[in-house]
């Protein structure tokens, strides 16, 4: 019997089997390499995501710290006209806008014709007897970086409102202003009265309560007790990036303000809320918040705002010794 074909066939099968084993080994090695590459890629992706989140938080802080440095020009002052049914507010000195009275909102009794401004653009409001009824101050955040508080005090600043923290407008995370503690210590050591504000992006009453508890905790950790109010500052972001607060309505904004301020008051501090004139008139229910002092923002030489306010931010382009960048100017009315 001729065994040569069988031997050839067996040899061929052996070659095929060896090739199969080799192919499997190569495939296994390739699979392991791919798996290792996949694990490495996933680790790199995870690290990149952490970096992105970190950058987003840093970007939140930068965007929430940088003010609009364009100051509106001063307009000629026209005193507001009021009667039993209508409140008139002069807009840009020539166009009169008519607003209905806001139920429950109080009118102020300040004679703004007695407001004086010195050569440094520091304002003082006087009473009928020539006595000052206001103090001059600034508000600052990490945007101003390092501050020489002794120089600030020597330049006539009597109070400072410090940003304690903020909620990210994209991430919603709570963060401390990175200069808050040194500003608290520096202002206190320089004998400057201190208030604190929190930049809110609360969407619910629960988030507003969380923000109040957060800022109260930060203040406690500094060991410095503010002598001026702790302030709820809710604003829409000024850039075009999407924000978690898009679509927020005024009714919920008012509720958030109420919860935050009640929490501050319960902790033994004085509350306050911040608003531009349009926000105060058309978003907040000022009547429902009439027991909470208002910090109004209007960048004019005078204000025609007729409703009660305790503090007025009148400039975002002030200059003060001890601070290299521009800073907001305010007056705090005490009587």
Neighbours of 233 (CB within 10 A): 21
Q: What is the pLDDT of residues 28-52, one digit of tens each?
A: 555 566 556 554 555 554 455 545 5
183 or 73: whose pLDDT is higher?
183
Global confidence as pTM: 0.74
pLDDT at 241: 73
pLDDT for 53 beyond 90: no
Q: What is the pLDDT of residues 138-162, one digit of tens each?
A: 999 999 999 999 999 999 999 999 9
Q: What is the dihedral sign for C-alpha 59, 60, 61, 63? A: positive
**How confident is the model over 166-192, as a mean pLDDT?**
96
pLDDT for 220 beyond 60: yes
pLDDT band, residue 68 (cuts 50/70/90): very low
Percent of the chain with pLDDT over 90: 61
The domain 66-333 having CATH identifier 3.20.20.80: the answer here is: yes
pLDDT at 180: 98
Lowest-confidence pick of 22-26, 130-134, 313-317: 22-26
pLDDT at 15: 44
Instruction: State the chain's mean pLDDT as an integer.
Output: 81
pLDDT for 112 beyond 50: yes
CA–CA–CA angle 255, 64, 117 (5° rounding): 90
CA neighbor of 57 nearest in space, from 201, 181, 160: 201
pLDDT at 61: 53
Q: Give, for 194, the enclosing helix (H) or strand (E).
A: strand 193-200
Lowest-confidence pick of 77-91, 132-146, 202-216: 77-91
pLDDT for 19 beyond 90: no
pLDDT for 91 beyond 50: no
Q: What is the pLDDT of residues 230-250, one digit of tens each?
A: 999 999 877 667 889 888 999
pLDDT at 9: 43
Q: Give, for 46, the enclosing helix (H) or strand (E).
A: helix 4-65
* Environment class of 292 (CB within 10 Å of its CB; exposed 0-12, middle 13-18, buried 19+): buried
**How confident is the model over 204-233, as a mean pLDDT?**
98
pLDDT at 74: 42
**How confident is the model over 245-259, as a mean pLDDT?**
95
pLDDT at 161: 98
CA neighbor of 183 nearest in space, from 138, 213, 245, 130: 138
Strand 174-176 to strand 87-91: parallel, antiparallel, or no bridges (unpaired)?
unpaired
pLDDT at 63: 46
335 or 328: whose pLDDT is higher?
328
Each domain of the chain, given as residue ranges in start order, spans: 66-333
């Amino acid at each position: 019997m001729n065994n040569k074909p069988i031997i050839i066939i067996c040899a061929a099968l052996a070659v095929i089997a060896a090739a199969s084993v080799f192919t499997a080994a190569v495939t296994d090695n390739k699979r392991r390499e791919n798996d290792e590459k996949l694990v490495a890629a996933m680790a790199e992706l995870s690290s990149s995501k952490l970096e992105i989140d970190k950058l987003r938080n840093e970007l939140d802080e930068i965007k929430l710290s940088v003010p609009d440095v364009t100051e509106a020009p001063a307009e000629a002052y026209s005193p507001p006209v009021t009667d039993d049914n209508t409140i008139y507010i002069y807009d840009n000195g020539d166009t009169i806008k008519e607003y209905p009275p806001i139920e429950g909102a109080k009118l102020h009794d300040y004679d703004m014709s007695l407001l004086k401004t010195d050569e440094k653009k520091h304002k003082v409001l006087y009473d009928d007897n020539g006595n000052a009824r206001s103090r001059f101050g600034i508000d600052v955040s990490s945007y101003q970086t390092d501050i020489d508080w002794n120089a600030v005090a020597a330049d006539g600043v009597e109070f400072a409102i410090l940003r304690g923290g903020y909620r990210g407008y994209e991430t919603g995370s709570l963060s401390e202003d990175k200069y808050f503690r040194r500003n608290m210590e520096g202002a206190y050591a320089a004998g400057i009265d201190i208030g604190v504000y929190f930049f809110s992006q609360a969407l619910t009453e629960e988030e507003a309560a969380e923000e109040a508890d957060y800022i109260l905790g930060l203040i406690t950790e500094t060991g410095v007790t503010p002598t001026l109010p702790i302030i709820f500052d809710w604003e829409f972001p000024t850039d075009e990036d999407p924000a978690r607060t898009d679509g927020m309505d005024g009714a919920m904004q008012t509720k958030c303000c109420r919860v935050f301020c009640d929490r501050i008051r319960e902790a033994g501090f004085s509350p306050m809320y911040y608003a531009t004139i349009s926000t105060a008139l058309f978003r907040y229910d000022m009547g429902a918040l009439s027991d909470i002092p208002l910090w109004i923002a209007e960048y004019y030489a005078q204000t025609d705002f007729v409703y009660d306010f305790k503090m007025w931010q009148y400039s975002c382009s002030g200059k003060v010794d001890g601070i290299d960048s521009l800073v907001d100017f305010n007056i705090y009315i005490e009587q």
